[in-house]
Structure 1
């Protein structure tokens, strides 16, 4: 009987100990990945509750032939693994615009806009200093997108953010 009570007590302690740690109220930094040619994004996270947050990312591209931007927003759930390690998942979407111009051989110009739905899953480490790094996978499903040529874009990125 003592073993049963001790086991139940330890199990309850483990259950309460695995609750998500409190996430930072704000985090600002960069999210660096492929992102279909957009490369880096400015990334902002806003803590909404103890284990939920909103992430907003702005990616842009300015090259010789293509100018584009992409704005995405995701709602994320965050769970603590151990210590400073967290994993998270989220859903969201965004909008974007692109323009293409090639004046070398033939005067070719085209432009367009697109919308997309996105999911997100990743892992992060929160340091004792106000720094957080993350690695995530964000599958994106595009609508009205002539820029990409297909409707699916997998995006793997490394994030580094300052927490405040």
Structure 2
């Protein structure tokens, strides 16, 4: 047990105090997200992501918070895992074939997170690739199946 604990602490990576950028993926119809990471300790951080959609027929937002553990693989490469959740709101209003469709609602969800990232040494840029499975709890029919895997590419400026 001590050797396993020592292995994980020896692999801890000093992470940046702040990182701000974009997380680009499907995001269950919300598209890209504005992403902010805040380093909490040597190998833990909080990630907050805001996705929004504003179109002719649909307006929506989704706020996600994930607590992450970060481990160094080699050099600037890290892998990370996390848990969290979020909430959102949506509304649509459109007319098709003479019929008006209008609805709105809110939702909450829990999420996991698993990914890999690279921190450049020469420039304060971080690239990441992660998957975030999300389980939705709502009665507003935002999703038909209440489960959404979210695969995304992130690019953030570290400061």
SS at match of 2:13: coil
Structure 2 unmatched runs, 5+: none
Deviation of residue 18 (structure 1)?
A: 4.3
Pick the structure with more helix per residue.
1
Match of 2:146 in 1: 151
User: Structure 2 vs 1, CA of residues 125 and 95 (structure 1 numbering), >3 Å: closer, same or farther?
Assistant: same
Corresponding residue for residue 127 of structure 2 = 133
Which residue does 1:122 correspond to in 2?
115
Q: How far did 1:17 drift? A: 9.3
Structure 1 unaligned segments of length 5 or more: list them. 1-10
Query: For residue 45 of structure 1, what is the aligned residue in structure 2?
Result: 37
Normalised by the length of structure 1, the TM-score is 0.88
Once the two structures are TM-superposed, the CA of residue 103 in structure 1 deviates from its matched residue by 2.5
Q: What is the aligned-residue RMSD (CA, Å)?
A: 1.8
Residues 1:32 and 2:24 aligned together: yes
Cα displacement (A) at 1:65: 1.5
CA separation in 2, counterparts of 1:41 and 1:56?
Answer: 10
Cα offsets for 1:88-118 (capped at 9, x unmatched): 0000000000001113431211000000000
Report SS of the residue matched to 2:28. helix
Counterpart in 1 of 2:47? 55
What number of residue pairs does the alignment pair up? Answer: 152
Q: Decide whether the 8 Å contact of 1:18 with 1:81 is kept in 2.
A: no
The residue that corresponds to 1:71 in the other structure is 63
Alpha-carbon distance in 2 for matches of 1:113, 1:125: 35
- Deviating above 4 A after TM superposition, structure 1's stretches of 4 or more consecutive aligned residues are 14-18
User: C-alpha separation between the residues in 1 aligned to 2:52 and 2:24?
Assistant: 12
CA distance in 2, matches of 1:52, 1:31: 19
